[in-house]
Structure 1
Amino acid sequence: MDFESSNFIAATRTALNQLTALAVHYSLSVIGAIILLIVGWMLARLLSRWLYEAVSRFDGVDLTLAQFFANVLRYGIMTLVFVTVLGQFGVQTTSIVAALGAAGLAIGLALQGTLQNIAAGIMLLVLRPLRVGEYIVTPAVNGTVMEVGLFATELKTAEGLYLLAPNSILWNVPITNHSRRPQRLQELTIAVANDTDLDLVKRLLLGVVERDERVEKSPAPRVFSDDLAADKTTLKVAYWAKTAVWTEARRDLIDRMRNTLIGQGIVLK
């Protein structure tokens, strides 16, 4: 009985010592994991904020793009910290990294179209072929840009309609930006009878254009013959105007030139 009691006491002490060692080991691991998570979270937040501010300082870089890069860095650091914490508890992180890679590949294949829009959005935000407030024309969509996002671009059509265009259809096609350049050329076509005094018509048209303050003085406006048919002569009125008033100037000048010619008894064809 005394022998069995001694063995029981010895086994109990051994078990208690092992439990104490395990408790100390895992308590240190838990404390270390907590410290690592706190430090990693603070580091991720600090570096992401630093990257956001650094990218935002570059001229022409959209804040949406800066925030995207900052979030990618932040979540990337937190993922590394999480895998390191699991390694503290003896978990084989190699298999976890492989699983994360496989999951990322599967998600990438499933979201191929979405990722294509994100990639196109990044290129649009970096190269800036279009900006908010500019009017663009593409083979697929036309309208004034309201917002450029990572997934899609919001536009307002000439009819005032709301249009949401995926970034992929804006990046892979030619874009004509009607608002980017400060000046635009306008060419108006006017046809008159062949027996009309062309010198008089040219002087009248040139006078109307030159008196308009919205028309640029350099390059100077021009009026020239563009085509000759059996029953009419086609004239071209070419002038440059500021892009902001280009449409308004065109409409006004058409009316003024028409009224001026009719007032002089010139018949338009």
Structure 2
Amino acid sequence: MDLDPQNTFSAIQAAVGQASALIVTYSFSVIGAVILLVIGFLAASLIERWVYAGLGQVSGFDMTLRRFFSKIARYVVLGLVIVMVLGQFGIQTASVIAAIGAVGLAIGLALQGTLQNIAAGIMLLALRPLRIGEYVEVGSVTGTVEEIGLFATRLRAADGIYVLAPNSTLWTQPVKNFSRNGVRRNDITVTVDNAEDMDKLQAKLTKLAESNPLVKKDPAPNTFIAELGESSMSVTLRYWTDVPDFQAVKTGLNKSLRNTLNLKK
């Protein structure tokens, strides 16, 4: 069948016109979506800072919860922005929410371990066995807590190494919190010959600890025989300090004991 040039030209012209109209329409949609994304990200960051600063004005409000709620506020704003961007292209909001719910359910079933981390993070924030700035030991994880997130907790090890631990790991194991109670006890044990005068030795060790201004007066430092052997015995000096002073006092007393008693290592 022969094609009518006039009809063909008219069809092409109509198609070009429709394509041009679609390009113009969606160009405005794309530009609007980009503007919404930029404004949305800026607004999310601004609201996160506002929430963080606002909660900081509340007396006694925990630093960990401040960061958690400020992050939640950011994610909520970003979620609303994404829905608005999809609306720019004519997608129904109700359909988007339903789709997000379905996708969320599928992802939840596929990532059960991740959901466990989220649940563990919520429990860590609710019961607060550890807080930002505290030095903790949980299983093989040790360090100062820097941030408790929805999925994982960031810590800084004593040697400055970055540590990221899943929340489920921290929640399912016993937590040793070295900072929470404010004070710590330390024992320094030395080995001496059985010929040593025990009364003088104990008095000397106790006086050495009492002379350190960072050692707590209550409970008072004391010494006792920890182990008795055939030719030697182990004597322990026990004392308490504030947590920030623990390492400095331990190092200082070890040096003083060695210099004062001239003990063999």
TM range (shorter): 0.5 to 0.7
1:234 shift after superposition: 1.3
**Contact 1:65–1:122 (8 Å) recurs in 2:** no
**Contact 1:140–1:169 (8 Å) recurs in 2:** no
- Equivalent of 1:66 in 38, 44, 69: 69
- Deviation readout 1:172-212 (Å, 9 max, x if unpaired): 11111111121111111111111111111111111110000
* Residue aligning to 1:30: none
* Residue aligning to 1:39: none
Alignment CA distance shift 1:205-1:74 (3 Å): same
- Rounded Cα–Cα distance in structure 2 between residues aligned with 1:73 and 1:154: 23
Q: Which runs of 5+ in 1 are unaligned?
A: 1-44, 86-90
Alignment CA distance shift 1:188-1:138 (3 Å): same
**Contact 2:68–2:148 (8 Å) recurs in 1:** no
Alignment CA distance shift 1:165-1:97 (3 Å): closer
Alignment CA distance shift 1:144-1:200 (3 Å): same
- Deviation readout 1:115-164 (Å, 9 max, x if unpaired): 22222222222222222222111113111112222222111112211111
Alignment CA distance shift 1:259-1:124 (3 Å): same
- Rounded Cα–Cα distance in structure 1 between residues aligned with 2:173 and 2:132: 19
Pairing 1:239–2:243 present: no
Alignment CA distance shift 1:220-1:97 (3 Å): closer
* Residue aligning to 2:183: 183
Q: Which runs of 5+ in 2 are unaligned?
A: 1-43
Pairing 1:210–2:210 present: yes
- Rounded Cα–Cα distance in structure 1 between residues aligned with 2:146 and 2:98: 42
- Rounded Cα–Cα distance in structure 2 between residues aligned with 1:186 and 1:78: 55
- Rounded Cα–Cα distance in structure 2 between residues aligned with 1:144 and 1:257: 30
* Residue aligning to 1:201: 201
**Contact 1:144–1:157 (8 Å) recurs in 2:** yes
Alignment CA distance shift 1:72-1:132 (3 Å): closer
The one-letter code matched in structure 1 to 2:69 is: A
3-state SS of 2:154 partner = strand
Q: TM-score, normalised by structure 1?
A: 0.66
Alignment CA distance shift 1:108-1:186 (3 Å): same
Pairing 1:254–2:257 present: no
- Rounded Cα–Cα distance in structure 2 between residues aligned with 1:183 and 1:143: 18
* Residue aligning to 1:219: 219
- Rounded Cα–Cα distance in structure 2 between residues aligned with 1:64 and 1:261: 51
The one-letter code matched in structure 1 to 2:66 is: L
The one-letter code matched in structure 1 to 2:61 is: D
1:70 shift after superposition: 4.6
Residue identity over aligned pairs, in percent, reads 41
3-state SS of 2:140 partner = coil
Alignment CA distance shift 1:146-1:64 (3 Å): closer
3-state SS of 1:230 partner = coil
Pick the structure with greater CA Rg. 1
Larger mean CA deviation between 225-234 and 241-250 belongs to 225-234
The one-letter code matched in structure 1 to 2:169 is: I
Q: TM-score, normalised by structure 2?
A: 0.66
- Rounded Cα–Cα distance in structure 2 between residues aligned with 1:257 and 1:130: 35
- Rounded Cα–Cα distance in structure 2 between residues aligned with 1:156 and 1:72: 26
**Contact 1:64–1:150 (8 Å) recurs in 2:** no
The one-letter code matched in structure 2 to 1:66 is: F
**Contact 2:185–2:239 (8 Å) recurs in 1:** yes
